Amino acid sequence: MRAGVVALRPIRLRDAGDWSQIRQRDQQHLERWEPTAPGSWADRNGFWSWPPQWMALRGLARRGQSLPFVITADGDYAGQITLGNVIRASLRSAWIGYWVSSTSVDGGVATAAVSLLVDHAFGPAGLHRIEATVRPENEPSIRVLTKTGFRQEGLFQRYLDVAGDWRDHLCFAITAEETGPGLVARLVQEGRAERV
């Protein structure tokens, strides 16, 4: 990708410093899109708030209910991406959520990360459908989803409390049949990425 080599790796307890530094710096970039939560941004994204989040995500991952990853660009922490609410049996679905640092917005980092995780979800993880919800005003995230092949399915009215109010969200989805040889392969074929 233009931004360098984009990769996913499991979250680690020692990510606290990088995670907190980016989240604190990028409050204006991130806060308007994220669910409302108690406490101040500084408290929720401080160094010591990472260990309990890491433990919760790790617990969900161990139970097979979530797949949380760090996004790296040229080896540097660039954001986070998660498959959540993983359901097996006949449904085999999950939702995808992600954020990238303000310095990683352009250059295809989010597009590559979504492509990598969707390929993993439909390959080794054995899922069939992935959903994503996004506020209609979040044009950069909508571009990421449409570039990777997600299709819009509808509008959830007053779906999630974000920035202190109940916000509408567009629902996007993709199924395994829609990815062909894979989203990463599609990026490479279109000349938007190279395999390393």
> pTM for the full model?
0.95
Sheet of 151-162: strand order equals 6-10, 67-73, 76-87, 93-100, 129-134, 165-175, 151-162
Domain ranges of the chain: 6-189
For the segment(s) 6-189, the CATH number from 3.20.20.70, 3.10.450.30, 1.20.1050.10, 3.40.630.30 is 3.40.630.30
Total residue length of the chain: 196
Tens of pLDDT along the chain (196 residues)? Answer: 566 899 999 999 999 999 999 999 999 999 999 998 888 999 999 999 999 999 999 999 999 999 999 999 999 999 999 999 999 999 999 999 999 999 988 889 999 999 999 999 999 999 999 999 999 999 999 999 999 999 999 999 999 999 889 999 999 999 999 999 999 999 988 887 877 7
Buried/exposed code over 95-119 (b: 16+ C-beta within 10 A; e: otherwise): bbbbbbbebbbebbbbbbbbbbbbb
